[in-house]
Amino acid sequence: MKLRTIATNGIRMRFAEEGAGPLVLLLHGFPESWYSWRHQLPALAAAGYHAVAPDQRGYGGTDAPAAIEAYDILHLTADAVGLLDALGEKQAVVVGHDWGSPVAWHCALLHPERFRAVAALSVPYTGRAPMPPLELFRALAGDRFFYVLYFQEPGVAERELEQDVRDTMSRFLYAASGDVTEDPNFWEKPGDAKFLDGLPSPMALPPWLTAADLDYFASEFRRTGFRGGLNWYRNFDRNWELTVELADAKVTQPALFVAGERDGVLRMIPVEAMRDWVPNLRELRLLPGCGHWTQQEKPAEVNAALIEFLKRL
C-alpha cells in the first residue's frame, strides 16, 4: 500500500492505494479518513482490484477550502470524477460509508458513464427529500437535540470537538459502535445539549479499534481540525437545491447495501424503502451486532460482501 497526492477538481487530494486491476473507489465518512478502509485495501488488492481510498475534501492530507459552499455534493462528486481522470481510468465501482454513501449514490446518479456500480455502507438511498432537509430535521427533532442542527453554526461544534480530540474520537467511535453497552442517550437529549453530552467514555477500546488506530485518527484531526468535515453538514439544504433534476431519479446501476443491525442511521431512514429507488439492488445485507462503523467493525464480512458483489458484475 502507498500514499500519494494528485490534483483533482481544483484541489490536491491524498489517497491510499493498493493492487492492480479494475478500479474500486472507497469513500469514507465523518469523522474519518482513508484509514477507515485499512482492512479493505489489501483484501480488494488480493482479489485482483485496484483499491483507492482518498482523504475526501476537508480531511487528512487533502485540501480543505475555506468556503462552506465548496463542500456541496457537486464538488464532492466532481472530486471523485477528477480522481478517476488523474488515474487515467474511464470507470470505477464506487463504495461509500456514512457521508461517503451519499457521495457514492450521487456519483452513480450524476455520472453514470463513469461509475458502473455502487456499494453503500450504512446510508441507503431513498430519493430526494420532499422538502429542504433542515426543515425536515427541525420538524423531526422538535425541542430535542439533533446533531445535524447542532453542526450548522460555524465554530460551535469545532470548539467542542477540538477541545480534546482523542477523547472526542474515542467516545464517538465507541458510542456509535455495536459494542457500546451504556445507553448513549443520543436521541433524547434536550435541545440545548452539546454533541458529546451523554456519550460514554469506553472503559476499554472495542476489539476492532486498537490504540494505534485511535492515535492515527486523533493525530489527523488534531492537525486539521473538524471544520472540513462539519462543512459537509452545512450543505444539506444547498445540496437539495442543486439537485432538483434528481427529484424522481433512481440509481439503475448494480448496487449493494450493507449496514449494521445496531446502526443508529437505520433508526432515521427506512432501509426497505431503498428497493423502490435502487431497482438493481443485488443484495441488502444487515450485519448482526454491528454498529455504524461497518467496514471497521466487521471487516471480514464487509470484504466478503464487496468481493462477492464485484466478482458478479
Q: What is the pLDDT of residues 170-217, one digit of tens each?
A: 999 999 999 999 877 777 899 999 999 999 999 999 999 999 999 999
In single-letter form, the type of residue at position 87 comes to L
> Burial, 109: exposed, middle or buried (Cβ in 10 Å; 0-12, 13-18, 19+)?
buried
Residues in the chain: 313
In angstroms, the CA 272 to CA 171 distance is 30
Active site residue: 50, 97, 106, 292, which one?
A: 292
Phi, psi (5° rounding) for residue 265?
A: -60, -35
% of the chain beyond a pLDDT of 70: 100
Is the backbone of residue 12 left (phi > 0), alpha (psi -120 to 50) or beta? beta
pLDDT at 311 over 90: yes
Choice among 55, 98, 179, 263 that is catalytic = 98
pLDDT at 224: 98
- Give the three-state DSSP class for 144: strand
Q: φ, ψ for residue 304 (rounded to 5)?
A: -65, -40
Give the span between the Cα atoms of 101 and 40, in whole angstroms: 16
pLDDT of residue 184: 72
The residue type found at 2 is K
Question: With 90 as the cut, is the pLDDT of residue 270 above it?
Answer: no
Residue whose C-alpha cell is 478500479 = 23
For residue 186, the model assigns a pLDDT of 76
Catalytic residue flag (residue 106): no
pTM, full prediction:
0.97
Dihedral sign of CA atoms 228, 120, 20, 76 in order: negative
Q: In the chain, which ranges are E strands?
A: 2-8, 11-18, 23-27, 50-54, 92-97, 115-121, 255-260, 281-287
What CA–CA distance (Å, rounded) separates 24 from 44?
8
pLDDT at 188 (0 to 100): 83
Query: Does 98 participate in catalysis according to the annotation?
Result: yes
3-class DSSP state of 145: coil
CATH code: domain 2-311 is 3.40.50.1820
Whether 70 has a pLDDT exceeding 90, the answer reads yes
**Per-residue confidence band for 159, with pLDDT thresholds at 50, 70 and 90:** very high
Least reliable range by pLDDT among 68-72, 269-273, 309-313 = 269-273
Mean pLDDT score of the chain = 96
